[in-house]
Structure 1
Amino acid sequence: MELRLRAALDRAQAMLATGRMNGFDHAYPSPEPFLADLRMVQSSLREHHAEVLAGDGSLPNLIRRVEAFGFHLAPLDLRQHSEQHEKAIGEMLAASFALPEGKTYEELSEEERVALLSRELANPRPLLPQGFQRSEIVHRVLEPFHVVRRARRDLDPHCVRCYIISMTHGVSDLLEALVLAKEAGVPHDLDIVPLFETIDDLHSSARLLRELLATPVYKVHLEKRGGLQEVMLGYSDSSKDGGFLAANWALQKTLADLAEVQKETGVPLRLFHGRGGTVGRGGGRANRAILSQPAGSFSGRIRFTEQGEVISFRYSLPPIAHRHLEQIVSAVLLAAHGAGMAHAEEKYASVMDALEETSKKKYRDLVYDDPGFWSFYTQATPIEHISLLPIASRPVFRPGKALSGIEGLRAIPWNFAWVQSRTTLVGWYGLGTALAAYAAESEANLETLREMHREWPFFRTVLSNAQLELARAHLDTARTYAARVKPPELNRIQTEIEEEHARSVSMLLQVTGQRDLMEHARIVGNTIRFRNPAVSPLSRIQVRLMDAWDHLPENEQTGVWREAMLQSIAGLAAAMQSTG
């Protein structure tokens, strides 16, 4: 066993170093044979009355580790934008003369695309003809599938589990990924995971999933890999798309809708929550979020992301890591049995629909429809400098859209820039207007909001998260960033932001009955008050650096100036405990 295990390690190292694996025929090909040998040893020990060795100690611990980690430690997910698939598939279908005469793939309707892709999946022949010269886009999209095939064959069959399609809009987006996997020779057991990100896509996710699960070729794929469908929900882009309150309610309704799909189709769903570290990107207390899901929406299976800075906060100290995992497991067990789940969806749904509409309009009127907003944002935050940071796996702007507008900016840097300027706008903007408008309609409405806060875990969690972001905002500092903006008339936007902040604070105190935002979170409130005087000098330094940078000749915007600017961003990120 030891020789076979060492040979498996040598084989993996050789494959990674040279791409060759010759001479390792006696190595374990996967964790399963190694696990079978360990269990055989365990069984033999029990047969010979060595239960102490078989049931406790090193051997059972090793078996559990192999079961959990295999030879790969943790499975990787791959992720690609649906737009990239569409471009690559379009070229590949054109090269194989599979398109209807006189049409490009982009011109086909969704129904035509699904029919065409279904035929290709049922056709055993390769899609690309021999000698086909791949374009850059085809190579960029297809090569990861070849890597998956080799890694699963040579390292561990479980090393890559999911292929996530960001910005999923239709069934064809998932079938395109299956066609690409088939072309690269990837087995049918790769999970194809739709990621719903915008508010419109969240609203239509249940309809799309019903159509997907009724598509014959996809049903075959699902049966071959165990019948479980994973669905990822995007918290960051939905918040950037419609604002904090609208995104939270859209996600809550999506959870309820997907629960109905699971019930109707009999296909079990595993929901993957793409939460960020900050409240504006779905962050906050994970156990509260689990327990505030709609009744019947939790099936006992869950995945969620832990962002980079959150990992160190939650897991670097073993006692805190143990407590965090304990809270999550507790919430999962309670939710799986229906305990603590929200049952107020129907009672208050119409109120939330009204709040969503008002808050979304307020948010989009500023962020998307105000012609001066983008100029204000790029001057009143360090977003231009954040784009230079060598962090994350994706660029700040989507391909071909650098500094072109809000639509091309990714959600993480969008939020990160507001945290740097101490505005934290993403975690509350639009909330105050929505609450105030509803309360003003009748005298009874304010009491309804208070009742929702008392009785509904979801609403209580949303307001609690907003309170934290409002408390973290430091508008005196934000004002120094806004003072840089030219022309000065654009400072009307800063005034609007401050008015909405005051409105949100006022309405939250009225609804919750508190005297200050952190009344029920004194430790957090004290931390914020203690931290602010220490953070403010960092902010002033950053503003001075931004002013100096703007007056530098382009050929001098490197070296020590760039390093100083990036260090100021890193310092504020550490102080605010957030990179977006």
Structure 2
Amino acid sequence: MPKLRLTTQRESVFNNEVISKFELFNSLFLTLPFYKIKDTGTLLPLFFKSCEDGIKQGQKPAQVIEEFFAKYTSYTDRKDIVDLLFRFIQYIERQVVLFDAVEDASFTKLNTTDEQSTLAFILKKNADNKTMLSKIERLIDDLSLRLVLTAHPTQFYPGNVLAIITDLTQAIKENDITSINSLLQQLGKTPFFNKKSPTPVDEALNLTWFLENVFYFAAANIQEEIDQNLDEYNLETKKILELGFWPGGDRDGNPNVHSDTTVEVSKMLRQILFRCYYRDFRVIKRRITFRGVEENIAKLNDVLYANAFDQGIEIEDISVQLKEGLNKIKDTLLEEHEGLFVDLVNDLIRKIELYGNYFASLDIRQDSRVLRKVHEFCRQNKPISSLYPADYDKLSEADKLKHISFKEASINFASAPDELTKDTIETIKEIKGIQKRNGERACHRFIISNCQQASDILQLMELFLWNGWSKDTLTIDFVPLFETVNDLKGAADIMETLYSNPFYKAHLASRGNKQDIMLGYSDSTKDGGYLMANWSIFNGKTSLSAVAEKHNIQLAFFDGRGGPPARGGGKTHRFYASMGKEIANKNIQLTVQGQTISSQYGSVESAEFNIEQLINAGITSGLKEKHNILLDPENKVLLDAMAEDGYKAFVDLREHPLFVSYLEKLSPLKLLSQANISSRPVKRNGGGEMKLEDLRAISFVTAWSMLKQNVPGFYGMGTAMKNQEKAGNWGKVVKVYEDSDYLKTIVDNCMMSMSKSDFAITAHLASDKEFGSFWTQLHNEFELTKEMLLKLSGQPTLMANYPVDKRSIATRERIILPLVLIQHFALEKLQHDQNATDQKALEKLSVRTVFGIVNAGRNLA
């Protein structure tokens, strides 16, 4: 009953604080004095209605739009029609921003942490139980959370728009109509898109907005709360949260990231951090004007100012020096001034302990195939050439391992390497400089994507030893990334080989016997479908945990999560809370990317809430340490069969001869590179033919979301469940679902993905000569999955257990319905011959709709 009352209260708050306010401010928005506002503001509501009615009647997008123009306008010229559609797009983009701001302004009223899962409640509950307090202390000592911001191209808002959204959210909180009106006008005149593609450094700079304006404060606030809670019970505190950063370091498939990019981004992160430090120190300087601190205040002011603004100084890691200076000021305040303003000093010390000299740790990532070629090139040069046989690359894995000797060497290059090889070698050398300037934690992980064998890791270690590093100073953590279904199956054997290798074992010992392993959700879903991807990762984590425990290795899984459920997104904290004791879960690491950054970490309040949820998930799952019932033989056999059926269904679809052409012709897949939102190509093989294996997972998922079909987020689930029902196992499936929080999370996230689908928009394709049967196949699986999920969960509609989230999604989908139809209208016209001018205008029209659709979905791509 209490849960029912809470849900009802949240719905009421959502209706009053979000829906009502959005409708009010939206009506104001439509009357703002912009270019040709009268036409746009008057016609847009009619266009919305035409779109909704047209879809209900099963009309094609082109038919809906052409009938609208014939009925409500006098426009007949293609240029005038396209011009008005562009103005509609601009308005709807800003309506999405307005809805975001209204919803974010109500965040604290809509979201409350379950009190029973908070650290404060857990400590209070066990205050008289010394055994439990000791367990909590050990758990916190082991616990860590690492959020890694990535450069994946679905963060569409530039920094100036993010700043407007922040101010607009605050104005809405305060019901400041004058400011709201001004900010809406500013929003209307501010461009939402780039005229040219950003460089990797541009991407990094755009993303640092969140570091500087959100995480800098939110992480420190969370750490302060943890410190206070533990101090109250005389427990030793610990730094739990760490930030990671990929822009400038992630060169997997991105030809535009180079060693100088990595160095420039590392310096930029440091300088922005010191500007944050200096901003805080100015407050300290303004308040602490007492005797006895003048000299230390002056010294710190000069040091912080120089590091924040002087481009010419020689930079080095001065975090220890800063803390020493601040602690001297703190001691003086406590001894001579009754501790006045000591909280300001403590706050800055806490931030320096969190962020050091680097702000966020810069990860390096490269594909194993590239690294193998670099190793091959280095082996051709003295003195390395004498250590390897000429046919080394053709040897078996076992024979390769016999030849890897880990000799330190200084290579004499007989010939110039190609650009990619040269960049890899230079990057390995530059990491040492980054560590010297910013501290070891500034850049200490090298991620090997497409890792398929132990030698991929060991050969990379050799590359370090051949290019400026020694065995005693190899301050690098080597992180294998397992992505495909087959890679996940072999992952435990690879790690067994590594843990048994004497050199690698010694290296791990020097790193505290800690091993990070990255698991990729995006490519595993693209490879095997939604259910198989999740189940493969679950099984992979189980086997990898067992191997690590056998070798006494402290394992941390680094989850490569995208925004949508199809790429590992969704209710993330529930996912971590549902882990059993068989899976290493004390160190939570995950990527945060695209719209997930702005939607979940776009404000200090939302960032604090989501960070706290993840930390609480780690604590509560650690205290429970329940056996995961999915590992019981009967249940595992059941899920194995379901995953295999889902996999077969998805692979059959993926191998359909129309699969790629369906996406090419009916979605803006081929045009995504024109969006100018990323330095990274849409696919890996450059300008060649569109092949599924070369297509990036993010582009793959985005294309399906533009079609409002979200196939990677559900396809095969319905077939898998229906097959079990036919086999007489439905009762077992229901029992496992009821008993397993992990399976509930998979189902809930699948429902979320399906809630953002609308096959009615493309229903006209059912009679299409080329794609009719293919569309029908997709639609049938969608309806089957929906039927089986509702039957399994006992819910009357998708996401019925989350009525506020359901209403938010429905509202957002309604806002952007015209964008979807405009996009499909443009794509439909592009299938016919157009003159050069119309071709360019229609392509631009299609691309521009992507921004608003993805922004509204918040985790669509």
TM-score normalised by L of structure 1: 0.89
Corresponding position of 1:167 = 450
Deviations 1:8-35 (A, max 9, x none): 7646866xx57xx5xx5xx764312332
Counterparts in 2 of 1:438 and 1:32: CA distance versus 1, 3 Å: same
CA distance in 1, matches of 2:625, 2:390: 58
For 2:746, which of 452, 455, 462 is the aligned residue?
Answer: 462
3-state SS, counterpart of residue 559 of structure 2: strand
Corresponding position of 2:283 = none
Distance apart, 1:168 and its partner CA: 0.7
Corresponding position of 2:358 = 72
CA distance in 2, matches of 1:401, 1:177: 30
Corresponding position of 1:566 = 847
Corresponding position of 1:248 = 534
Counterparts in 2 of 1:290 and 1:45: CA distance versus 1, 3 Å: same
Corresponding position of 1:202 = 488
The residue identity in structure 1 corresponding to 2:591 is T
Distance apart, 1:512 and its partner CA: 1.4
Pairing of 1:14-25 with structure 2 (within 5 A)? 24=314
CA distance in 2, matches of 1:180, 1:169: 18
The residue identity in structure 2 corresponding to 1:513 is G
Counterparts in 2 of 1:198 and 1:570: CA distance versus 1, 3 Å: same
Corresponding position of 1:110 = 397
Distance apart, 1:3 and its partner CA: 3.8
**Is 1:301 aligned to 2:587, yes or no?**
yes
Contact 1:359 1:431 in 2 (8 A): yes
CA distance in 2, matches of 1:220, 1:323: 40
Deviations 1:286-341 (A, max 9, x none): 22100122323234211111112111111223333332222212111111223566
For 1:139, which of 411, 417, 422 is the aligned residue?
Answer: 422
Contact 2:666 2:827 in 1 (8 A): no
Deviations 1:154-182 (A, max 9, x none): 23332112111111111111122212223
Pairing of 1:25-424 with structure 2 (within 5 A)? 29-42=317-330, 48=335, 52=339, 56-96=342-382, 97-98=385-386, 100-103=388-391, 105-116=392-403, 118-119=404-405, 121=406, 123-126=407-410, 128-130=411-413, 132-186=415-469, 187-338=473-624, 342-346=628-632, 347-367=634-654, 369-392=655-678, 394-400=680-686, 402-424=688-710
Contact 1:402 1:408 in 2 (8 A): no
Corresponding position of 2:800 = 519
Structure ranking higher on relative contact order (CA contacts 8 Å, 6+ apart): 2
Q: Which stretch shifts more, 193-202 or 550-559?
A: 550-559
Counterparts in 2 of 1:316 and 1:432: CA distance versus 1, 3 Å: same
The residue identity in structure 1 corresponding to 2:326 is L
Corresponding position of 2:164 = none
Distance apart, 1:396 and its partner CA: 1.7
The residue identity in structure 2 corresponding to 1:475 is F
CA distance in 2, matches of 1:393, 1:113: 36
Q: Which stretch shifts more, 507-516 or 347-356?
A: 507-516
Contact 1:380 1:484 in 2 (8 A): no
The residue identity in structure 1 corresponding to 2:742 is F
Distance apart, 1:416 and its partner CA: 0.7
Distance apart, 1:540 and its partner CA: 1.5
Distance apart, 1:572 and its partner CA: 1.6
CA distance in 1, matches of 2:387, 2:693: 31
**Is 1:532 aligned to 2:813, yes or no?**
yes
For 2:778, which of 489, 497, 510 is the aligned residue?
Answer: 497
CA distance in 1, matches of 2:336, 2:685: 65
Q: Which stretch shifts more, 253-262 or 520-529?
A: 520-529
CA distance in 2, matches of 1:554, 1:191: 55
3-state SS, counterpart of residue 249 of structure 1: helix
Contact 1:53 1:59 in 2 (8 A): no
3-state SS, counterpart of residue 770 of structure 2: helix
CA distance in 2, matches of 1:8, 1:536: 50
CA distance in 2, matches of 1:544, 1:29: 56
Counterparts in 2 of 1:450 and 1:62: CA distance versus 1, 3 Å: same
CA distance in 2, matches of 1:562, 1:144: 38
3-state SS, counterpart of residue 337 of structure 1: helix
Contact 1:379 1:484 in 2 (8 A): no
Aligned residue-pair number: 559
Q: Which stretch shifts more, 75-84 or 544-553?
A: 544-553
Distance apart, 1:467 and its partner CA: 1.4
Q: Which stretch shifts more, 522-531 or 489-498?
A: 522-531
What value does the CA root-mean-square deviation take over the aligned residues? 2.6
3-state SS, counterpart of residue 489 of structure 1: coil
The residue identity in structure 2 corresponding to 1:451 is K
Deviations 1:251-279 (A, max 9, x none): 11122112212221101111111111100
Contact 1:194 1:231 in 2 (8 A): yes
The residue identity in structure 1 corresponding to 2:451 is T
The residue identity in structure 1 corresponding to 2:455 is S
Contact 1:402 1:409 in 2 (8 A): no
Corresponding position of 2:760 = 476
Distance apart, 1:477 and its partner CA: 1.5
Q: Which stretch shifts more, 463-472 or 384-393?
A: 384-393
Contact 1:193 1:232 in 2 (8 A): yes
Contact 1:433 1:500 in 2 (8 A): yes
CA distance in 1, matches of 2:835, 2:303: 55
Contact 1:298 1:336 in 2 (8 A): no
Q: Which stretch shifts more, 375-384 or 559-568?
A: 559-568
Long gaps (5+) in structure 2: 1-295
Distance apart, 1:342 and its partner CA: 3.3
**Is 1:545 aligned to 2:831, yes or no?**
no
CA distance in 2, matches of 1:296, 1:562: 51
The residue identity in structure 2 corresponding to 1:151 is I
Counterparts in 2 of 1:463 and 1:219: CA distance versus 1, 3 Å: same
For 2:730, which of 422, 429, 446 is the aligned residue?
Answer: 446
3-state SS, counterpart of residue 339 of structure 2: helix
Contact 2:482 2:519 in 1 (8 A): yes
Counterparts in 2 of 1:552 and 1:571: CA distance versus 1, 3 Å: farther
TM-score normalised by L of structure 2: 0.61
Q: Which stretch shifts more, 321-330 or 399-408?
A: 399-408
Counterparts in 2 of 1:403 and 1:292: CA distance versus 1, 3 Å: farther
What percentage of residue pairs aligned between the two structures are identical?
26
Contact 1:252 1:293 in 2 (8 A): no
CA distance in 2, matches of 1:376, 1:464: 28
3-state SS, counterpart of residue 129 of structure 1: coil
CA distance in 2, matches of 1:473, 1:29: 50
CA distance in 2, matches of 1:154, 1:370: 53
3-state SS, counterpart of residue 675 of structure 2: coil
CA distance in 1, matches of 2:752, 2:438: 45
Distance apart, 1:101 and its partner CA: 4.4
Counterparts in 2 of 1:403 and 1:291: CA distance versus 1, 3 Å: farther
Contact 2:357 2:438 in 1 (8 A): yes
Distance apart, 1:392 and its partner CA: 4.0
The residue identity in structure 1 corresponding to 2:368 is S
Contact 1:288 1:461 in 2 (8 A): yes
Contact 1:542 1:565 in 2 (8 A): yes
Deviations 1:186-244 (A, max 9, x none): 54111111111011111211111111111112122222222211111111111111000
